[in-house]
Amino acid sequence: MIFFFILLVLVTTAQIAEFFIPPIDWMYHAHIYIAPVIVFYGAVALPFPLMLALALFAGIILDALTVQVIGSKVEISMGWSILLYAVLAGIMHGLRPLFVRGRWEVHCILTGICTSAIILAQYLMITFRRGSLFFSPEVWWQIGGPGLIAMLMAPPVFLILHWIARLTRYPYLPEKGHFE
Amino acid sequence: MSRTSIIALLIFGAILGYFLSFGAETTRNFQAQVYQWLAPFFSTGSGLQKQITSVRTGLKSLEELERENAALQVDNRQLKATNQALRDVEHEVNRLRHALNYRERSVFKLVPAEIVTRDSSTWWHTVTINRGKEDKIESDMPVVTDEGLVGKTTTVSQTISVVLLVTDENCKVAASVEGTREQGIVSGERVSGGLTPVLNLNFLTKQANLQPGQKAYTSGVGGVFPSGLVIGTVKSFRLRELDGQATLAPAVDMTHLEDVFVVTGRK
């Protein structure tokens, strides 16, 4: 439980830190997202109910800090990020047995893919609102770039979180009767 | 699936449904509340970022000085570093004096504000400023600098506000072009390809034939932005099937914004 609360604090800190990290110019202004990496680690490390709670918390924070309210219109309504996080974290959670056995590489790659999936979903939602769907190289870079960065960040971040988990004596045990 | 998981899923669904049912006003209030809670962290982060940047700038100029003056002694280098620090202070004083002059000669009531954070998301162009309801800031107030239009406020909490930049596709500004009777709507791009974002001036007549260098101003139509604020300079003009479209270079460099003014009314 201590580890879960640490993850909540880290997600909040990462979300705030993202405001101060400038986008990468040579990657068509691709942004660096740290919070999804932590959430997806939580998705494989935590049991199902806590994974849902973490996705809920991260989604609320993300929506609260990014949703655009213009006049009487909300571009992407509150709650969509929660749903996105929950679905993607659910997919990651399905691979938890592999993670418990110490195989992390799939999760690192999936973290990148899921980060890009969040940005792609946001793009599709705003396009649905604003019209004119197009996929230029800039769009692909802005979607794929953060995913690539997340993929690269995942191993060290996972290692640090794993170390914190060991410090807090968090047991990476599969849920009873679920995976065994 | 275990019973605990099912209960967790049901609770999750209920909370998700509650958030999805939020309207614009509820979302704005909730967002303002979250920004208010996080305001101290944003201010601290902004301060830290400025310190880090200034240290980095200091080190860079020292390296340059070392390259140029390899023969100089340590004392000499320290003096130069001090000089550099003083020049930074002078630059800051000049910048603030410039801003103060603009505030005094402006026909608008202006509330000075500092940029606290820049946009952290991919698809939205926003910044947060260190002024809110306590400073009589409200939603949909224009934000300017002495160079021109920056954007407008959207979510406003007690001490912090979100500013939607003019470079965002959702920020639509009624504009007129100097020396012509042309009027159109300026909006940003969803995805900017270049290093500096550009603006699109849409719905011009096909006969507009705008020339590079002509300035676009707010026309005052729509009620949010007062007339006469510089939006940008025409870079190019092209004909489309039904209308003409001009590309503008924004008057304000959004990437290096530090201080802005919120227009709260006329003097």
Instruction: Write the pLDDT tens digit of every residue in A85-106.
Output: 999 999 999 888 888 777 888 8
Question: pLDDT tens across B70-80, in order?
Answer: 776 767 666 76
Question: pLDDT tens across B38-61, in order?
Answer: 888 888 888 887 777 766 666 666
The residue in chain A having the minimum alpha-carbon distance to the alpha carbon of residue B194 is A28
Question: pLDDT tens across B160-207, in order?
Answer: 999 999 999 888 999 998 888 889 999 988 877 666 788 999 999 888
Question: pLDDT tens across A148-161, in order?
Answer: 999 999 999 999 99
- Closest C-alpha among A93, A111, A98 to residue A156: A111
Of B2, B41, B122, the CB nearest to A31: B122
Measured between beta carbons, the chain B residues lying within 8 angstroms of A53 are 8, 12
| The most confident of B41-45, B82-86, B214-218, by mean pLDDT | B214-218
CATH of domain B173-255: 2.40.10.350
Q: Which phi and psi (to 5°) does residue B127 adopt?
A: -135, 160
The partner residues of B111 in beta bridges, in order of sequence, read B262
A86 contacts B123? CB cut-off 8 A: no
The residue in chain A having the minimum alpha-carbon distance to the alpha carbon of residue B163 is A68
Measured between beta carbons, the chain A residues lying within 8 angstroms of B15 are 56, 82
pLDDT top residue among B245 and B88: B245
Q: How far apart are CA B96 and CA B98, in angstroms?
A: 5
Q: How far apart are CA B100 and CA B114, in angstroms?
A: 13
The per-residue pLDDT of chain B, averaged, comes to 84
- Closest C-alpha among A24, A126, A35 to residue A74: A126
**pLDDT for B119 beyond 80:** no
Question: pLDDT tens across B30-40, in order?
Answer: 989 998 898 88
- Closest C-alpha among B194, B137, B177, B179 to residue B160: B137
B35 contacts A139? CB cut-off 8 A: no
Q: What is the mean pLDDT of residues A7-26?
A: 89
- Amino acid (1-letter code) at residue B248: L
pLDDT top residue among B14 and B222: B14
Is the whole-model pTM more than 0.95? no
The residue in chain B having the minimum alpha-carbon distance to the alpha carbon of residue A73 is B24
Which percentage of chain A shows pLDDT scores above 70? Answer: 95
Q: What is the pLDDT of residue B262?
A: 92
**How far is residue A94 from each of residues A176, B110, B217, measured CA to CA in Å?**
15, 55, 55
**E strand or H helix at A16:** helix A2-17
B24 contacts A71? CB cut-off 8 A: yes
Q: What is the mean pLDDT of residues B213-240?
A: 88
Residues 6+ apart with CB under 8 A from A77: A67, B20, B22, B27
Does residue B25 sit in helix, strand or coil? helix
Q: What is the pLDDT of residue B39?
A: 86
**pLDDT for A177 beyond 50:** no
Q: What is the pLDDT of residue B54?
A: 67
Q: What is the pLDDT of residue A118?
A: 93
Q: What is the pLDDT of residue B55?
A: 67
B140 contacts A79? CB cut-off 8 A: no
Predicted complex ipTM: 0.84
Q: What is the pLDDT of residue A42?
A: 92
Of A25, A30, A69, the CB nearest to B27: A69
